[in-house]
A and B are shown apart, each in its own frame.
Chain A
Amino acid sequence: MNKTRRDFIKKAAALSAASCVGIHLPFSLAEAKKADAGVSWHRGSCRLCGVGCRLELGVKGGQPIGLRGVAEARTNFGYLCMKGMSFWKCMRHPDRLTKPLYRAKKTDKFKEISWEKAIDLAAEAFAQAYKDGGSSAVAYYGSGQALTEETYLFQKIMRGGLRSNNVEGNPRLCMASAVGGYQTSFGADEPIGGYADIEKAFCFFIIGSNTAEAHPVLFRRIMRRKLDNPDAVKVINVDPRITQTSRIADKHLQFKPGTDLALLNGMAHVILDEKLYNEDFIKKYTTFHQGDKVVDLEAYRAQVSKYTPEEVARLCGGVFTADDVRTVARWFAASKGTVSLWTMGLNQRKQGVFVNNLVHNLHILTGQLLKDGADSLSLTGQPNACGGVREAGGLCHILPGHRPIEKEKMRNQVETAWGLPLGRIPDGGGLHTMAMFQALNDGKIKAIWINCTSPAQSLPDLGKYEAGFTREDNFIVCTDIFPTLTTQHANLILPTAFHFEKTGVYGCTERRSQLTKKAINPPGQAKPEVWIARQWAKKLAEKLTDPLVAQCVKDFDGLEEGYALPKAIWDEYSQKLTAGRDNDLRGATYAVLEQMADGAQWPVPTEEYAKTGGTVKKFVKGRDPLADKESKNDLPYQFYGPGHEDRTLWIWLRDQGAPEEVPDAEYPFYLSTGRIIDHWHTMSMTGRIPELLQANPYAYVEINPKDAARLGIKPNDMVEVKSRRGVNRLPAKVIDGPMEGMVFVYWHDQHPDRLINRLTIDAVDAASKEPEFKICAVQVKRLSGPEALKPYLV
């Protein structure tokens, strides 16, 4: 790059930053624009976490060369994190999968094959499995990173073509408890408000979320709000581990893992005891529930009465005091607007749905909902867990448009939209994730398609599920961009297009759908998943001589895969399947989404309304068109969600419940797992970005200094962490992070010695079926002094 060009680029960089904060710089936009000579900028969403940051990819000569934030986007206002800034560097990595690979036996070496042969093999395997074992012998396991069009099309072929509800996705491992919480507390999945509440909030209640590392751009907004109003805004951080998020907290409550249900009930106790609840809100909008029974406020008061602040402080491990419980309850209830934020700390629990309910309880009890600056906001971990998997039918129990599978009327609506005879979609039988991989273990599933995810690393208690992956009597298809621990078990690997190499919609945490259009060609022979799925369905129809399988993709035949094909799929989904549903997306057409800097928040029944940005607050008349349409009385809030026929918010009576496994004499430590700022999921992408890999080349075990001293462990010593299921060898990071008696390990590392999911437990929440990754019992012992370790990627 010559000097003049560098100068132009520096001006463009300065203007980009200045535009985010409204600072005027003394040079012209025209001058900075000279940096764009030969560069085209393509708008889209970030590929990594669930915040939904908007950005633009710079392309020069067909190659990606840079990235910039979109200052007018209401998700990130131009800011990006280092991880987000780097994701696009995966695009031209030499490890990209570029040709279909096949092996008959899993012990064979892969051979390159043609796409024609690959599609035929995939169709043959699924057709044979279906003929021999019926719909229960086939399965699809997808991802919260797949585009909505991809998830929708795969589940359509599985349900409508192969008559199988064995449709699952990795959001079962991260968001299913949040879904259950929203459905049972508010009668509808997904939050009422969104990020816009952050700048209007006066209290943040961050529980079970290291927002600073897992959602850094959103954390920046929270931090800014706090810094601009240091006295008026309170930040409460509730976590067994002190993290980067705790830096801005006015109060951090460290509790014994698994005891947070007691703490939340204790806060409710204080709120009731000190009459801090919103009596009018409760009277108008709330009912109380215990199991199948409808109870009342007095029953709730009686239930939480045993959770006195003193008892809660004791139950939670004695790190905080009874007065701390009172203080945070007062801040929560009395603020002019409280926003709660949480992620896996609550969701990945055997009590996951219940603990979600208890956070919602506090919001309902205090009326900290439906007004600006107040919301009960579950943060998602993946960019399209909400939009694709939760909304478009990507879990076994839900059909597109938040339709429960067990209701015949709902199935019939979908069958009609797809032009299939009524009764084509079975009324159940779909296996949730852990049951699906157990069925693979048991030899009941003979053909499984794993798309854009790596369960051979992300499932809990991995040792138990390796049997299914390695069986020779099943056929595993993997669609992915890089080799993973799961592609190592595949019979057939199909190379896919990456973000910006294809077109489609992501729906982020706050009900916001955003389009990313194709900007560059995928490498080699890699193809978009929608093309792969369509070709597979056509071949499957031939092999099964079933025209109804072909019917699933008939309307998409012949369409060009870069834009026309995903557009046709989105049109079908949004126009036919979300009409009249709470996630009405009819106004969010490609034409509208292409115009918008940051997409639209559903419900958006019309294009005209979608162009305003959509619904910032659900259920509020005058702000949500469905609340107006569905209004049954003069009250301003109308809860029209599909889950609660009584149209009220439900406060649940839920007691403290124990995790599946707690420390004992033999396994005396809690183990918790999670994410760090530099890596994402199974590291197949971030591990291939040198500066991110170098920042954290391998996993370590965080251990409290008091525990380390007691066990004779010094920083960087090699430590054995062992559970009843597996063992890891990890370097020690001695840090005042985890509370005493607890260790923490991040789950990104692929190395067999540092694969922490060998230790985690596969106990699931009874309602959400989400596993308890966050809590199990382990032994910890020093092995040796420091060792030179190398990063590891397959």
Chain B
Amino acid sequence: MPIAGVVISVKPEETEEAARLLTKAAGIEIHGSDSQGHIVAVLEAESLKAMEKLVDCINALPPILNVGLTYINTEDEDFTKSDKGGNAAPSPLSPGRWRV
């Protein structure tokens, strides 16, 4: 389960409203904000794919201008499995495949 540190940017006058919206969402912990429209938050998700979706969801909220990532820890994810979408056909560009 990855954990990320983010700075969420909003228009300064919308900081309070944005923080209120974010607090309602699962997987987001608000840790602080300032008068310039910066909101410091920690995101938690089941997987990196879910984390990407969560970031997309935050970005889609009307007051949100930007989600800036500063930290990610994924120490219990396994990256040694291939996930290429299942293409099987060799490219016609070359008859020789690289695999032995």
B62 at the interface (CB under 8 A from A): no
Which residues of chain A are near B11, meaning CB under 8 Å? 227
Indicate if A110 sits at the interface (CB-CB under 8 A): yes
B36 to chain A, nearest CB (A): 7
Given contacts A10-B3, A92-B80, contact A66 B72 (CB under 8 A): yes
From A93-101, A326-334, A702-710, A779-787, the one touching the partner chain is: A93-101
- Asked if A67 CB lies within 8 Å of chain B CBs, one says yes
Bound CA–CA A514/B32 (angstroms): 32
In the complex, A66 Cα to B95 Cα: how many Å?
A: 39
Q: Identify which of B1, B31, B72, B87 contacts A14 (C-beta below 8 A).
A: B31
Interface pair B84/A16, CB less than 8 Å apart: no
> Are B5 and A112 closer than 8 Å at their CB atoms?
no
- Known: A25-B31, A227-B9, A694-B49. Contact between A110 and B100, CB under 8 A? yes
> Once the chains are docked, how many angstroms separate the CA of A375 from the CA of B55?
33
A110 with B96: CB separation less than 8 A: yes
**Measured between C-beta atoms, what is the minimum distance from B60 to chain A in Å?**
14
Q: Give residues of chain A (768-794) contacting chain B, Cβ–Cβ below 8 Å.
A: 790-794
Residue of B nearest to A60 (CB): B75
> B98 touching A483 by the CB < 8 A rule?
yes
Q: Given A67-B71, A694-B49, A752-B91, answer yes or no on A17-B5 (Cβ-Cβ < 8 Å).
A: yes
Complex Cα spacing A103 to B37, Å: 59
In A546-569, the 8 Å CB interface with B consists of none
- CB atoms of B33 and A23 under 8 A apart: yes
Q: A93-B79, A110-B99, A794-B98 are in contact. Are A223 and B66 (CB under 8 A)?
A: yes
A25 in contact with B71 (CB, 8 Å)? no
Complex contact A66–B75 (CB within 8 A): yes
Q: Is the CB of B83 within 8 A of A693?
A: yes
Q: How far is the CA of A33 from the CA of B98 in the complex (A)?
A: 45
Find chain A residues with CB under 8 A from B68 CB. 17, 20, 79, 220
The interface residues of chain B lying within 8 Å CB-to-CB of A456 are: 93
| A697 proximity list for chain B (CB < 8 A) | 85
Contact partners of B41 in chain A: CB under 8 A = 14, 17
Expressed in whole angstroms, the Cα–Cα distance for A763 and B87 within the complex equals 33
A82 to B74, CA, bound (A): 14
Indicate if A378 sits at the interface (CB-CB under 8 A): no
B34 contacts chain A at the CB level, 8 A cutoff = yes
Residues of B within 8 A of A13 (CB): 3-5, 42, 70-73
Interface string of B46-65 (1 = CB under 8 A from A): 00110110010000000001
Within 8 A of B (CB), among A411-428: none
The CA-CA distance from A69 to B84 in the complex, in Å, is 28
The one of A94, A107, A488, A687 in contact with B91, judged by C-beta atoms closer than 8 angstroms, is: A488
B100 touches A111 (CB 8 A): yes
- Of A13, A20, A86, A227, most buried by chain B (CB within 10 Å of CB) is A13
Q: List the A residue with the shortest CB-CB distance to B83.
A: A690
What separation, in Å, do the CA atoms of A242 and B1 have in the docked complex? 37
Report A-chain residues with C-beta under 8 Å of the C-beta of B70. Answer: 13, 16-17, 19-20, 68-69, 71, 78-80
Cβ-neighbour of B37 out of A16, A227, A487, A489 (below 8 A): A227
Chain B neighbourhood of A751, CB < 8 A: 87, 91
User: B16 at interface (Cβ–Cβ under 8 A)?
Assistant: no
* Interface residues on chain A, size class: 35 or more
Query: A691: which of B38, B48, B82, B92 is its contact (CB, 8 Å)?
Result: B48
Knowing A93-B79, A110-B96, say if A691 contacts B49 (CB, 8 Å): yes
Whether A95 and B82, one on each chain, are in contact in the complex, defined by CB atoms closer than 8 angstroms, is yes
B17 at the interface (CB under 8 A from A): no
CB-based nearest A residue for B84: A793
**In the complex, how many angstroms separate the beta carbon of A611 from the nearest chain B beta carbon?**
26
Does the CB pair A691–B51 fall under 8 Å?
yes
Which B1-16 residues have a C-beta within 8 angstroms of A? 1, 3-7, 9, 11
Q: Name the CB-closest residue of A to B43.
A: A13
**Is the Cβ of A224 less than 8 Å from the Cβ of B9?**
yes
**A293 at the B interface (CB under 8 A):** no
Question: B72, B79, B82: which contacts A68 (Cβ < 8 A)?
Answer: B72
What chain A residues lie within 8 Å of B51 (beta carbons)?
691
Report A18-45 residues with CB < 8 Å from chain B CB: 18-25, 35, 39
How near does chain A come to B31, taking the closest CB pair, in angstroms?
A: 4
Q: In the complex, what residues of B have CB within 8 A of residue A109's CB?
A: 96-97, 100
- Judge if A635 is at the interface, Cβ distance under 8 Å: no
A107 near B98: Cβ-Cβ < 8 Å: no
> Looking across the interface, which residue of chain A has its beta carbon closest to that of B34?
A23
Please judge, given known A-B contacts A92-B79, A107-B96, A688-B84, whether A10 and B52 are in contact too, CB under 8 Å: no
Q: How far is the CB of A727 from chain B (nearest CB, A)?
A: 13
**Min CB distance, A13 to chain B, in Å?**
3
Find out whether the CB atom of A85 lies under 8 angstroms from the CB atom of B72: yes
Task: Give the docked Cα–Cα distance between A10 and B70 (Å).
Answer: 12
Contact of A15 with B84 at beta-carbon distance under 8 Å, contacts A92-B79, A488-B98 already known: no
A695 proximal to B (CB < 8 A): yes
Q: Which of A14, A80, A791 contacts B42 (CB 8 A)?
A: A14
Contact assessment for A16 and B5 in the assembled complex, using a CB-CB cutoff below 8 Å: yes
Kindly state whether residue B81 has any CB partner on chain A within 8 Å.
yes
Q: Contact between B84 and A791 (Cβ–Cβ < 8 Å)? A: yes
Contact B93 A466 (CB under 8 A): yes
Selected from B1, B5, B33, B87, the residue in CB contact (under 8 A) with A793 is B87
CB of B71 within 8 A of CB of A18, answer: no
**Contact between B96 and A108, CB atoms less than 8 A apart:** yes
* Known contacts A82-B52, A693-B84, A793-B84; A9 and B9 CB within 8 A of each other: no
- A39 — which chain B residues lie within 8 A by C-beta? 75
Per a CB cutoff under 8 Å, which of A93, A110, A228 touches B82? A93
The complex places the Cα of A68 from the Cα of B75 at a distance, in Å, of 13
**For A78, what are the chain B residues with a Cβ–Cβ distance below 8 Å?**
70
The contact of A65 among B7, B48, B74, B100, by CB within 8 Å, is B74
A644 touches B (CB below 8 Å): no
Q: Which of B33, B69, B76, B94 contacts A80 (CB 8 A)?
A: B69
List the 6 closest pairs (A to B, CB-CB), nearest first.
A13-B5, A791-B85, A16-B71, A65-B75, A488-B94, A66-B73
20 pairs across A/B with beta carbons < 8 Å?
A: A6-B1, A6-B3, A13-B42, A14-B29, A14-B31, A16-B71, A17-B40, A17-B42, A21-B34, A23-B38, A25-B40, A93-B80, A228-B36, A488-B97, A693-B83, A693-B84, A752-B93, A792-B85, A792-B87, A793-B85
Known: A79-B69, A220-B68. 18 other contacts (CB 8 A): A9-B3, A13-B3, A14-B40, A17-B7, A23-B33, A65-B74, A66-B75, A68-B72, A69-B70, A79-B70, A93-B79, A106-B94, A109-B100, A110-B98, A223-B9, A483-B98, A485-B91, A693-B85
